[in-house]
Structure 1
Amino acid sequence: MNQFYLNLKKAFFVLTSLLVSFISFAQQKVSTPVGDILLNIKVPEFKKATYDITIFGAIANGKTDTKAVFDKVINQCSVEGGGEVIVPKGTFFIAGAIVLKSHVNLHFEDGAELIFSADDKDYLPAVLTLWEGTELFNYSPLFYAYQCSDIAITGNGKINGSASKNFAKWRPQRSEEQNKLRQMGHDGTPVYERVFGAGSYLPPDMIQFFGCKNVLVDGISIIDAPYWVIHPVLCNNVTVQNVTINSMNLNNDGCDPEACTNVLIQHCNFTTGDDGIAIKAGRDQDGWRIGQPTENLVVRDCIFNSKTNGLCIGSEMSAGVRNIYMYNIKIKKCLSAIYFKSNLDRGGFIEDIHVSDVQCDSTLSAFIRFENNYHGSRGGHYPTRFNNFIIQNVSCNYSGEAGIYAVGVKGNPLKNISLKKVTIKSTPKDQVVDNAEHLTYEDVEVNGTKLLKPVETGPIMLRTD
Structure 2
Amino acid sequence: MNIRLFLILSFTTFAFAQNNQFPTAKVDSIVNAIQLPKFPSFQINVVKLGAKGDSISNSKPFFDKAMALCKKNNGGTIVVPKGVYFLKGPVHFTSNVNLKLEKGAKIKFSDTPEDYLPMVLTSWEGTMLYNYSPLIYAYDCTNIALTGEGTIDGEGGRTWKSFKAQEGKGKELSREMNHDNVPLKDRKFGTGYFLRPQMIQFFNCKNILVENVRIENSPFWCLHLLKSESITIRGISYKSLNYNNDGIDPEYAKNVLIENVTFNNGDDNVAIKAGRDHEGRAHTATPSENIVVRNCNFKGLHGVVIGSEMSAGVQNVFVENCKTVGYLKRGIYLKTNADRGGFIKNVFVRNIQLDEVEDCLYITANYHGEGKGFQSEISNVSFSDITCNKASASGIVIEGFADKKIKNISLNNIEIKSAKNAISSTNAENVILNEVFIGEKATIPSAAK
TM-score, normalising length: structure 2: 0.91
Q: Deviations over 1:149-184 (max 9, x none)?
A: 000100000111111121122226871110010000
Contact 1:444–1:450 (Cα < 8 Å) also in 2 = no
- Corresponding letter in the other structure for 2:410: S
Which whole-Å CA distance do the structure 1 matches of 2:71 and 2:34 have between them?
23
Q: Which residue of 1 aligns with 2:272?
A: 279
Identify the match of residue 126 of structure 1 among 119, 122, 125.
119
| Residue deviations 1:323-363 (CA, integer Å, cap 9, x gap) | 11000111231111111000110000000000000000011
Which residue of structure 2 aligns with residue 462 of structure 1? none
Deviations 1:384-427 (A, max 9, x none): 10010111000100011100001111200110000000000001
Q: Which runs of 4+ in 1 moved over 4 A?
A: none
SS at match of 1:84: strand
* 2:206 is equivalent to residue 213 of structure 1: yes
Partner residue, 2:72? 79
CA distance in 1, matches of 2:113, 2:314: 33
One of 331, 347, 353 as aligned partner of 2:347: 353
CA RMSD of aligned residues (A): 1.4
Q: 1:247 aligns to what?
A: 240
Partner of 2:289: 295
What is the CA–CA distance in structure 2 between the aligned matches of 1:179 and 1:376, rounded to whole Å?
Answer: 18
| Paired residue type of 2:342 | G
Residue correspondence of structure 1 range 73-222 to structure 2 within 5 A: 73-171=66-164, 175-222=168-215
Partner of 1:63: 56
Pairwise CA distance, 1:48: 1.8
- Aligned residue number for residue 370 of structure 1: 363
CA pair 450-283 structure 1, distance change in 2 beyond 3 A = farther
Instruction: Give the 3-state SS of the residue equivalent to 2:173 in structure 1.
Output: helix
Residues 259-274 of structure 1 mapped to structure 2, 5 A cutoff: 259-274=252-267
Q: Distance in 1 between matches of 2:372 and 2:419?
A: 34
**What is the SS of the residue equivalent to 1:183?**
helix
1:227 aligns with one of 206, 211, 220: 220
Q: Give the counterpart letter for 1:437 in structure 2.
A: E
Larger gyration radius, structure 1 or structure 2: 1
Residue number in structure 2 paired with 1:463: none
Secondary structure of the 2:281 match is helix
CA–CA distance in structure 2, aligned partners of residues 218 and 121 of structure 1:
30
Shift of 1:222: 1.0
Separation of aligned partners in 2, 1:170 and 1:427: 37
Contact 2:169 2:193 in 1 (8 A): no
Q: What residue number does 2:439 align with?
A: 447
- 1:399 and 2:391 matched: yes
Distance 2:275 2:357 in 1: 27
Counterpart Cα distance in 2 of 1:31 and 1:424: 25
- Partner amino acid for 1:425? K
Change (3 A) 1:103 1:375: same
The percent of aligned pairs where both chains have the same amino acid is: 40
Judge conservation of contact 1:443–1:450 (CA < 8 Å) in 2.
Answer: no
More RCO (CA 8 Å, sep 6+): 2
Q: Distance in 2 between matches of 1:92 and 1:228?
A: 22
Residue type matched to 1:273 in 2? G
The number of residue pairs the alignment matches comes to 419
Work out whether residues 42 and 73 of structure 2, in 8 Å CA contact, stay in contact via their aligned partners in 1: no
Q: Could you tell me the TM-score, scaled by structure 1's length?
A: 0.88
Question: What amino acid is aligned across from residue 397 of structure 1 in structure 2?
Answer: N
Q: 2:408 aligns with which of 394, 398, 416?
A: 416
1:340 aligns with 2:320: no
Residue number in structure 1 paired with 2:447: none
Could you tell me how far 1:31 is from its partner in structure 2? 7.8
In the alignment, what sits opposite 2:3? none
CA distance in 1, matches of 2:127, 2:267: 19
Q: CA deviation at 1:71?
A: 1.1
Q: Give the 3-state SS of the residue equivalent to 2:178 in structure 1.
A: helix
Secondary structure in structure 2 of the residue aligned to 1:273: coil
Q: CA deviation at 1:449?
A: 3.9
CA distance in 2, matches of 1:77, 1:193: 34
CA contact (8 A) 1:357 1:393 kept: yes
Letter in 2 for 1:181: S
Cα deviation per residue 1:248-293 (whole Å; 9 max; x = unaligned)?
Answer: 1110000010001000000000111100110000001111223320
